[in-house]
Structure 1
Amino acid sequence: MRHEGRVGRTGRRAALVAGASVAVLVMGGVGAAGAASAPQVSQAAAVRSFDIPAQSLAGALTLFGDQAGVQIAAESAVVAGRAAPAVSGAMAPEEALRRLLAGSGLLWRFTDATTVVLEKPAAAGGVTVADPVTVEAAPLRQSPTGPVAGFVAERSITATKTDTPIVETPQAIAVVTADQMDKRAVQNVGQALGYAAGVVAQPSGADARYDVPQIRGFSVAEGQYLNGLRIMRGFGAPSVEVYGLERIEALRGPSSVLYGQASPGGLLNMISKRPVDEAFGEITVEAGSEKRFQGGFDLGGPIADDLPLTYRLTGVVRDSGTQMDHIDDDRYFLAPAVTWKSDDQATRVTLLTQVQHDRSGSPLGLPLAGTLYDNPLGKLSRDLYLGEPDFDESARTQWSLGYEAERRVNDQVTLRQNARYMALDWDYQGLYYAGLASDNRTAYRGTSYQNEDLDTVNVDTQGEVTLGTGPLAHTVLGGVDVRYFDAHTKSLFGSAPSIDIYNPVYGQAIAAPTGSATDKTQRMTQVGLYVQDQIRWHDWQLTAGLRHDVATIRTKIKGKGGGKQDDAATTGRVGLSYIFDFGLVPYLSYSTSFDPQTGTAAPQRGGGNFDSSQGRQYEAGMKFQPKGYNSFLAASLFDLTQTNVKSSDPLYSGYSVQTGEITVQGFELEALASLYEGLNLSASYTLQEAEITGGAASEKGNRPANVPSQTASLWVDYTIQPQSAVGKLGLAGIGLGGGVRYVGERYGDNANTIKLESNTVFDAEIGYERETWKVALNLNNLTDEDTIGTCTAFGCYYGDGRTVVGKLTYRW
């Protein structure tokens, strides 16, 4: 038997977890009784807060493992019948362990930074009392950036930039693991977030070009991060391939304290797949609706036995149409990564690269009459295309090169630097819908041409220190975050012949757009300084942080001159949690954000640059992660306000004033579980009351555009296990799953003149998994429900109709 400091679990992705188990041969003659031998990797100086009551040694070691973040390996006979004294206060784990084992006569040693082995002392003459035995240590704790077996992530670095249990984070966060994405056969980031609490995954309808989810009533189009570094965008936007991700994390609420400018609703942080220590491989082949064909591969492991290098190589090739005729979704994606570790494991550098090329057109809006409203001539189908196949074209190439470097100076100080260069080249030419004639069948159209060359640089340098001050244990983080953005954009617009929406005829002569030409260069530099302290006192934890940002934006428009805009803001967060020993953590928090606004006021008002919009939020919640059960429950209440919102100037047409204010108050519930072998569950519910509380008189009191009153979801899947009664009948490996998603009613505009009805869609999955093979069939929007993502001045945009995806996977 073994004594474990933390309950572990196994799963089919266990091969990806480095060092999931360690075999230790217990031998005699380690050192003097009652003292620790010299550890290979000591945690002696890493100060933590301990609160361990007097009890049996076995129970005390369990609490010690939880509170110190280490694993304990020992035979049950070694600890049986022994008692341990109470240990409390801020101290190094080794000091706490010394106190627990005082008088026991037992020895201990660290086999690595997170594993401790207990041993009996040697008898007289150097002969060990116990015969040599093999002891298997518990699985190492889950990595905040590594793979997760099942749906339940335990740790994250997104909310605090430190390795922190999610249950102890005083802010709501939803994590979608790669296993969950695989189970639901998601095709993009928006689909991956379809079951997450507080998130409207595809508020603009189905669009293969990019993802613009909404969190707590606010768009996070500008608040998307890859590996903790912001994905900066101009007119166009980079797109993230979900097959290259280990997880997607939606941090809900203002988050400028660590990330600078951001939407008050929150941000998305997407974690790339990383090199692993164990060799593995995976090949996938997909086929599905709209002539979709996709192949993927994911390889990793040591480069060579005699080199401290590991690698990961992930790739995707896709040839696919979409539900709208003549709009493709083609992609080539390749992501090599390499990790180097020093011999003493104190230094780690990971090189992360990606290259991606997409050819995917822009889905044109369709008239309100025939989609949202009745048209006497009939309903318009989702596949209706109002462009010109020989004219419309969209091509995007993006690539990035970055690294993550970490140096553990000693057991108290860790230095990190994460950096990335990303480039985007986007060419787009196409038609757009410009209105419907009075005959209800003739659609007016226009043409546009867009080209953008974008270069961005992110460098985030951090220092983390753990220390104790009296009874308090501190984890202090300080850093400087530097960003540079350089975009060159060309835009042209023109006219185009109309088209009959009920009998479209393609092939009309389309002149290249030449009017309203804009040739713009924009450069932005932003520097942010931040500090955070996570303070532990017994079961209380206080998280407090402060950040100051300065940003400069320079804009030059060819033939029209340019301008400069300077912004500065100070933001913060404070959160208080109480951590019960059975896994319940209630918390309170307050956080702020800022988001720079471009443009100037009317000349009659001074013509000055706009100030940044400001966000603030009060949040109270409760998280529960019961020990011994692979599950997570959370509930949160929030009151969120954004001020300095631009609204139409009531006196001077064509200009804006910053008198707008939006308030969103809400309640969220979420549950994740992989309770039994083969069973997964995901459930969420969100209620939010959103109101425009300031700005134009015609909009005041209305609901902001595209903010539903309620959303809800439920997904359950089960795979028959070999040891079950049914599995023993030869049905092991068969899996069934299903889910339902609900989005409540909302409005397409701030004037609340376009009302969008609620919709409910169902998803299903059936699969078979045997040893290294897996085959699955997923059906999303099972009943082929017509859903409308949004309606704007450019028309209405349908959500995804029924899609069928078959997938064959081979792993080794």
Structure 2
Amino acid sequence: MDGYVATRSGTGTKTDTPLIETPQAISVVTQDQIQAQAAQSVSQATRYTSGVVGERNGADGRFDQVYVRGFLADQYLDSLRVASGTFAYTLVDPFNLERMEVLHGPASVLYGQASPGGVVNMVSKRPTTEPYQEMFVSTGSYGRVQSGIDVSGPLDKNKEFLYRLTASGYDVGSQVDHGDYQRVSIAPSLTWRPTNDTTITFQGTYQRDPKAGFYNQLLPNGVGTLFSTVNGRIPTSFYLGDPNYNIFKREYSSIGYLFEHRFDNVWTVRQNLRYTDNSTYTQAVYPQSNQTNITSIGRDAFSAAETLRTFAIDNQAEAKFATGPFQHMTLFGVDYQTGTNRASNGYLADVGSINALNPVYGITVPALDFDGASRQTFDQVGVYLQDQIKFDRWVALLGVRHDRADSRTVSTFDGTTFGTASTSDEATTKRGALLYKFDNGVAPYIQYTESFQPIIGASNRTLNPFKPTTGQQKEFGVKYQPDDKMLLTFAAFDLKQQNVVMQDPNDFRNRVQTGEIRSRGIEIEGKVQVDRSLTLLGAYTYLDLVNTNSEPDTLGKRPIGVPRNAASLWADYTFRSGVLDGFGLAAGVRYFGETAGDSMNTYNVPGVTLFDAALHYDLAGLGPQFKGFKFQLNASNLFDKTYVRLCQDSGCYYGMRRDVIATLRYRW
């Protein structure tokens, strides 16, 4: 998919459907946009997408989480769920992706275990029928050393066998002292096309993150970050832990396939399958609660090991047929996922204080006993039916699904079992939508949809498994796509979610559930390729998020971290003639409104406006010997704005400071 503007997506319907005919808000971030903006994560790639909040933890990059319409979105890879535990969180490297598709709103009818806020479906790079080769090297802020290679093409002259191999890695510091990141990723794939109607693509991934991030949540109530103390403010470079006891490492591997066979003009079957293994170990020193003196911050120690193994399969049968004047594309599906999550942890109180203005490191923390542990097995099976019906300019989308989810959690302390909990939940979810497509490219639509989401994991405090979340949404929208160079969308929605999982306001190591949150708002988004030289992106979001059923002290309060207003604009211009032929520049601005600083809404985190910029040059203009070379320079937060990105009851995070990345890319 070339350029910034997409015209089709399979995420909203699991079928190849034009975006203009899909009655739901969907945002597509193409590989060209990912590269142009030098996105280093999934959340960074969605910076210019409406309804989306990413990078909530600022410089803390352990978890690549994306919030859509106020709720943590589930992530899928090739339409199969990327499962995550408490710390065993799977990060997919954007260099391995062809594009990302954000489905706004509930998607359980097709995906089962899906957040009411939305789904981020990542589409991996597939083998190509024509030879393709690319490599890059990057350097920049914080001592960045990064490179990658992407090669693909046919293995035989009949193009029956196709291959692709992507591999990349980096070693980079961060704005926080002693906060480094390292990664090695390799993703091979092989496509076999025995006939014109049959395709199977085998996929594998291995990713090792020896340094996958660091815990650096600072003090609660904005002490020393939002609000100055008698001793001043905490520097953004301050590391609250200790390099002697800072480990967050992750190892992830997966293997699977994507199969499709077309029997005739009516029937097509597909089967997608993947097995994954994620092992994560972390140990950190963190601040004790209620700290207010930045020159003497009391700290405790924590360590955890978690292993998550999952298997997922999705079976689909698609039928295209007509009943009188009605054209049908009917999808029947059965999906199943199962897995085991093992987690153990240990704690040690009072390992020494630290001065944020003059930190001294080098403490010794003894090995912690993993006295608390849990083992959870889970299974979910879903049966779904969807019918896309076209009549003249009308498009109707009807769907229904039934899920059954079972889990069994065994909790131990000092090797002795003290609790066993089993849950079994069933739910039927529905979806109905109607769209009218005018000849001029305008397409208004209405939709109602529901969600059901079993949650992997259990409370670290009570070790009880979480209840499934449920959600309901009404949506009205208008899309405008007169040609394949422009897509403008407007959506207004009213969404409710029950049993919302969030971080424990009193303990960062724990997750809790609250009663109900209501999300209402509008999203406006536009992507326009004006001509060969100029591309424009724009987005605006208004979001009214409120607790409608919770404890009395938070009833009617806004959840943390999500602004009422957010907006962004990106412009990319390339000269196509004259002495500047091949030279381009881009600029972007992102506005993020104020957010609640704690669950009681006693104070707010101020909004911030950030500027991004990029320069790029096709070096072929220097002579034929430079054909295929392209240089690119990106700067995010160009003016190095210091700001607080998130505050919650347990502490605050600074936002990302200026980050400059220079990349030399070669394609042949």
Fold shared per TM-score above 0.5: yes
Deviation at 1:400, TM superposition (A): 0.6
Report the equivalent of 1:328.
180
Q: Which has the higher Rg, Structure 1 or Structure 2?
A: 1
- Give matches, 1:17-96, under 5 Å: none
- Cα deviations across residues 449-480 of structure 1 (Å, max 9, x unaligned)? 11112111010000000011111110000100
The alpha-carbon deviation at position 742 of structure 1 amounts to 0.7
Matched, 1:572 2:572: no
Alpha-carbon distance in structure 1 between the residues aligned to 2:511 and 2:2 = 50
Answering whether residue 392 of structure 2 is matched by residue 528 of structure 1, we say no
Partner of 1:369: 223
Q: Secondary structure at the match of 1:190?
A: helix
CA distance in 2, matches of 1:744, 1:325: 28
Partner Cα separation in structure 1 for residue 479 and residue 452 of structure 2: 27
Conserved 8 A contact 1:361-1:392: no
For the Cα contact (< 8 Å) 1:715–1:737, is it kept in 2?
A: yes
Structure 1 equivalent of residue 572 of structure 2: 717
Aligned to 2:7: 154
* 1:633 equivalent in structure 2: 488
Cα displacement (A) at 1:612: 3.0
Whether the aligned pair in 1 keeps the contact of 2:273 and 2:312 (CA below 8 Å) is yes
Q: 2:130 aligns with which of 273, 278, 300?
A: 278
Which of residues 789, 792, 795 is equivalent to 2:651? 795
- Specify which of 71, 77, 92 is matched with residue 226 of structure 1: 77
RMSD: 2.2
Aligned amino acid, residue 312 of structure 2: N
Asked whether the equivalents of residues 435 and 443 of structure 1 are also in contact (C-alpha less than 8 Å), the reply is no
The residue identity in structure 2 corresponding to 1:161 is K
Are residues 302 and 698 of structure 1, via their aligned partners in 2, closer, same or farther at CA, if it must alter by over 3 Å? Answer: same
Using the size of structure 2 for normalisation, the TM-score is: 0.93
Match of 1:20 in 2: none
Is 1:395 aligned to residue 254 of structure 2? no
> Matches of 1:306 and 1:252 in 2, distance apart?
41
Shift of 1:599: 6.7
C-alpha distance 740-609 of structure 1, shift in aligned 2 (>3 A): closer
Deviates more, 1:672-681 or 1:631-640: 672-681
Q: Which has the higher strand share?
A: 2
Contact 1:646 1:660 in 2 (8 A): no
- Write the distance in 2 (CA, Å) between the matches of 1:638 and 1:625: 21
Give, as a single letter, the amino acid of the residue that structure 2 aligns with 1:570.
T
1:615 pairs with 2:615: no
Corresponding residue for 2:507? none
Which of 324, 327, 331 is the aligned partner of 1:473? 327
The residue identity in structure 1 corresponding to 2:113 is Q
Q: Deviations over 1:86-139 (max 9, x none)?
A: xxxxxxxxxxxxxxxxxxxxxxxxxxxxxxxxxxxxxxxxxxxxxxxxxxxxxx
Matches within 5 A, 1:639-718: 639-645=494-500, 660-718=515-573
How has the CA–CA distance of structure 1 residues 658 and 385 changed in structure 2, closer, same or farther, with 3 Å as cutoff?
A: closer
Distance 2:159 2:122 in 1: 29
Cα distance in 2 for partners of 1:505, 1:648 equals: 30
CA distance in 1, matches of 2:559, 2:292: 30
Over 3 Å counting, the alpha-carbon distance change for 1:643 and 1:366 in structure 2 is: closer
> What 5-or-longer segments of structure 2 have no aligned partner?
505-509, 621-626
User: 1:242: how far off?
Assistant: 0.6
2:57 alignment counterpart: 204
User: In structure 2, what is the Cα distance between the partners aligned to 1:577 and 1:286?
Assistant: 45
1:245 is displaced (CA, Å) by: 0.6
Structure 2 vs 1, CA of residues 438 and 325 (structure 1 numbering), >3 Å: closer, same or farther?
closer
Counterparts in 2 of 1:273 and 1:610: CA distance versus 1, 3 Å = closer
Letter in structure 2 aligned against 1:677:
R
8 Å CA contact 2:637–2:656 kept in 1: the answer is yes
Local SS of the residue matching 2:43 = helix
Residues 437 and 455 of structure 1, relative CA distance in 2, 3 Å threshold: closer
Contact 2:26 2:103 survives alignment (8 Å)? yes
- Does residue 348 of structure 1 match 2:199? yes
Which amino acid letter does the alignment assign opposite residue 236 of structure 2?
A: R
Distance 2:118 2:158 in 1: 44
Matching residue within 154, 164, 167 for 1:312? 164
> What amino acid maps onto 1:238 in structure 2?
T
Q: Which residue of 1 aligns with 2:27?
A: 174
Counterparts of 1:179 and 1:609, CA distance in 2? 41
**Quick one: distance in 2 between partners of 1:608 and 1:292?**
42
State the one-letter code of the partner of 1:499. I
Q: 1:409 aligns with which of 263, 268, 275?
A: 263
- With over 3 angstroms needed to count, the CA separation of the structure-2 counterparts of 1:694 and 1:437, relative to structure 1, is closer
Matches within 5 A, 1:764-775: 764-769=613-618, 770=620, 771-775=627-631
Distance, in Å, in 1 between the alignment partners of 2:563 and 2:106 is 20
Residues 544-570 of structure 1 deviation map (CA, whole Å, 9 limit, x = unaligned): 000100000111112213121111111
SS, match of residue 432 in structure 1: strand
Inter-partner Cα distance in structure 1 for 2:166 and 2:326: 44
What amino acid sits opposite 2:174 in the alignment? Answer: T
Paired residue type of 1:198: G
SS in 1 for 2:243: coil
Change (3 A) 1:438 1:326: closer
Counterpart position of 2:633: 777
Structure 1 residue 792: Cα displacement: 2.6
* Aligned-pair CA distance for 1:595: 2.4
Local SS of the residue matching 2:431: strand
Counterpart code for 1:549:
D
1:264 pairs, out of 116, 121, 131, with 116
Aligned: 1:217 with 2:70 = yes
Match of 2:605 among 756, 780, 789: 756
Question: Is the contact made by 1:436 and 1:442 (CA closer than 8 Å) also made in structure 2?
Answer: no
Report the alpha carbon displacement of residue 608 of structure 1 after superposing the two structures with TM.
10
Is 1:483 aligned to residue 341 of structure 2? no
Please give the TM-score of this superposition, normalised by the length of structure 1.
Answer: 0.77
Matches of 2:511 and 2:248, distance apart in 1: 32
Q: Separation in 2 of the partners of 1:746 and 1:341?
A: 52
Local SS of the residue matching 2:34? helix
Relative contact order: is structure 1 or structure 2 higher (C-alpha 8 Å, sep ≥ 6)?
A: 2
Distance in structure 1 (CA, Å) of the matches to 2:292 and 2:101 = 47
Tell me which of 318, 338, 347 is aligned to 2:190. Answer: 338
CA spacing shift, 1:208–1:172, aligned 2, 3 Å: same
One of 432, 449, 456 as aligned partner of 1:591: 449
1:206 to partner: Cα distance? 2.5
Q: Match of 2:23, as an amino acid?
A: P
Structure 1 counterpart of 2:300, from 446, 454, 472:
446
Q: Secondary structure at the match of 2:32?
A: helix
Whether the 8 Å contact between 1:672 and 1:681 is mirrored in structure 2 is yes
CA distance in 2, matches of 1:580, 1:400: 44
- Aligned length, in residue pairs: 645
Residue 658 of structure 1 and its aligned partner are, at CA, apart by: 8.2
